[in-house]
Amino acid sequence: MTVRTPYVVPIAGGRVLDLGARPLVMGILNVTPDSFADAHPRVDAASAIAHALQLEADGADLIDVGGESTRPGADPVSADEELARVLPVVRGLAGRLRVPLSVDTTKAVVAREAVAAGAAVVNDVSGLRRDRDLAAVAARAGAGLILMHSRGDPKTMGAAAEYADVCDEVAAELQAAIDDAVAAGVPRERIVVDPGVGFAKRAAHSYGVLAGLPALAARLDRPLLIGPSRKSFLREALGDRPAPERDWGTAAAVTAAVLFGAHIVRVHAVAEMAQVVRVAEEIRKVVVRR
């Protein structure tokens, strides 16, 4: 168990993420035809908007919309195609959601257009490795910036999963990404980090990252976002079951993340995981008080 350091993260639109009183739940909104985790992909704006509103009603504290799959082996998507998927959803939600909207993209042009349309946070799963201009976009817009640890791309990240000490190397590579963002003008207080469970990591690495969250938090001194939802590393414990059937395993990973000090958990099944978060947080608070 660990004490969760509180942070206040300014985001676009003059809002803030209060990351201290309790862990926040980020709802996943995929607008792609090839999401690994959705049994029924939502590729049209109307169904995506309706789902986002339901995620908010289910307890999401922020919603992350993405138009390009990052599952292992996924084909790249052009900026034009990604914009065509994402922008109608962001525009349709602007003014309707009470919670902030995040855009899950590695492209500066998509980040720029999405923030202009109403997104308040940019979530970059490449940690600025694919498009360094993305940090400057976030800086100019005053957006929050989530930097995730990964290596390679969806087609090559499996081969990049080699570590002598996974937590040490993840921390060092995330620190380099933070430094790059700050050099591009992003204030440090606007940055959240994600150690990238399931990205360029074998199952043992992902479990090692979860167990090592307190050390990562102490070393990086930034809020931690953890996204274990329905990912393939859970098969190590659950067996070979399809992604939509991994929510019980996700619940265990979310519990561990909360107990070890995560500030945000990113999940598909918001209603269920919001309950998991609340119970895990009550346990964490009792242990910390002892």
Positions marked active-site:
231, 266
* Cα 197 from Cα 105, distance rounded (Å): 17
DSSP-assigned states of every residue in 43-62: -SHHHHHHHHHHHHHHT-SE
Torsion from C-alpha of 284, 219, 151, 230, nearest 10 degrees: 0
Radius of gyration of the chain (CA): 17
Indicate the helix (H) or strand (E) that contains 64: strand 62-66
Tokens 């590729």 sit on residue: 43
Contact 60, 99 (CB under 8 A): yes
* Cα 113 from Cα 47, distance rounded (Å): 21
